[in-house]
Amino acid sequence: MRNGDPCVLVILGASGDLTHRKLIPAMYEMHQAGTLSKFSCILGVSRSKKTDEQWRTELAVWVQKQVKRFDASSWKEFSQRIYYEPGDAAIAEPYQRLGARITQLNSQHSCRGNVLFFMSVAPELYEPIVDQIGSAGLVTEGHRWCSLNQSERSWQRIIVEKPFGNNDASAASLNRSLGRVFDEEAIYRIDHYLGKEVVQSLLAFRFANSIFEPLWNNQYIDHVQITAAEVVGVGQRIAFYDATGAIRDMIQSHLMQVLAFVAMEPPTSFGADHIRSEKIKVIDALQLPDPNRLGDFGALGQYGASSDEKAYTELDGVKPGTTTETFAALRMEFVNWRWAGVPFFIRTGKRMAAKRTQIAIQFKPPAANLFQSVMPGHLSGNRMVIEIAPNEQFSLRFAAKRPGHMSISNVEMMMDYAKAFASEAVEAYGPLMIDAMRGDQCLYKHRLEVEGAWRAIMPFLDERSNGIRKGSQLNYAAGSWGPKAADDLLAREGRAWFNPM
């Protein structure tokens, strides 16, 4: 990985959980790896009043918890580049001080006038903060930074965390607000799933291996399943989750990105413009379901009570009569040459039977069973499973003859990332933030991609979904694989979910 450019990383919402658990540990790992420029520093901004040293002490506790290879001496060196500025970033009051502090740190650390803003705040604050950044004149890209030895353009960029909008209209509004202050190439819509090695490896798997790509189409693939299952409930995120739900929280963002990588056409080259162009095309090719038959395309649920946790509807803070889904399964199809007729099933849920994020590619069975005389019935098709979490591995199921007599059994080949490459996973935010520092948008979302993803799932969120949000359907047992309606979604076509344990 190429090192990030020098910059002042300004984290807006620095007192939040994301900053403590993810962002600062990720930047520390990048410091240890040598990919964070030594001419970079971090400025946290939040309403809490504290000094630089107080914030460093507070962060040290979190970094020790989150980073496997914590080293006291390297932390001491890194922490000297961390600063704090109190203030409410959604109003004008602190911006004169903030601008002066950025200028001072730019000079102190030789950051070349580069500033990377990270929006680690509640989504409703995105637009007010962007407006204040613009009004304060903190975006000056095109001005030149010069030293005795070099001359180059400075830049100002912004990373926007999910959820990117609450529906199609709010996403479009946020894009317009960002566009009034930043150029499109300076806007980085982050999805930390794209920082996961296995998700990135989908591109290499598909396009660097000639034995798979010729089969990656509707002639050979029967259907695709994408699952993100969690055993935990909503935890302390009750207020957020009841206003969000499983579709907005997981499908519109994370799983749509996985879907795009599975289904996209080969890009012309491994460059941001070409990769994002193909993702935009494939998301745009998603067919909207018939609103009169939405039950054939989606199933929703809420988890019930268990011995160690209340039912979702009984949790303190959940609105009475809520129909917010903690489980969702959607059936999607593409209107294009490669995937016409191949259903993609996406599901996600809380309090399910196992923690697993995976892609299952189910191939069609052989057209003719040559072993009919010794093995009546149809052979099952090959199946490829790409596991993203908790393990990182690829497996391929194929048929083989059993020793000693003529019968066919399924066997499995597997590649495990940890064993194959003897590597440890790093926090996914780290490489993505370094990409933003060096101007690489390959693993970031374009505005058209975001708006297209919202458009595809809106039938399951707006008034058209009322029919599948009735109480009788919003129940599934904690520790199960979801409601019966989700099984029916596949069973009516003679298919079944792949439910590993």
What architecture is domain 194-369+446-491? 2-Layer Sandwich (3.30)
Confidence of residue 287 (pLDDT cuts 50, 70, 90): very high
**pTM for the predicted model, two decimal places:** 0.91
For residue 311, CA distances in Å to 53, 143, 163, 327 come to 43, 56, 25, 13
254 in catalytic set: yes
Omega before 343 within 30 of 0, i.e. cis:
no
CA dihedral 348, 352, 353, 354 (to 10 degrees): 60
pLDDT in tens, 160-178: 988 888 999 999 999 999 9
* pLDDT, greater one: 26 or 153: 26
Does the 8-161 domain belong in CATH 3.40.50.720? yes
Mean pLDDT value of segment 390-400:
90
Picking from 314-318, 366-370, 463-467, which range would have the lowest pLDDT averaged per residue? 366-370
In single-letter form, the type of residue at position 382 comes to: N
Angle at 92 between CA 90 and CA 94, to 5 degrees: 90
Inter-residue contact 10 to 118 (CB < 8 Å): yes
Whole-angstrom distance, CA of residue 257 vs CA of residue 262: 9
Q: At CA 389, angle to CA 383 and CA 394, rounded to 5? A: 35
Q: Which of 109, 192, 254, 446 is catalytic?
A: 254
Residue 416: strand pairing partners: 393
Nearest alpha carbon to residue 445 among 454, 170, 437: 454
Give me the residue spans of the domains in the chain. 8-161, 194-369+446-491
The mean pLDDT of 170-192, rounded to a whole number, is 93
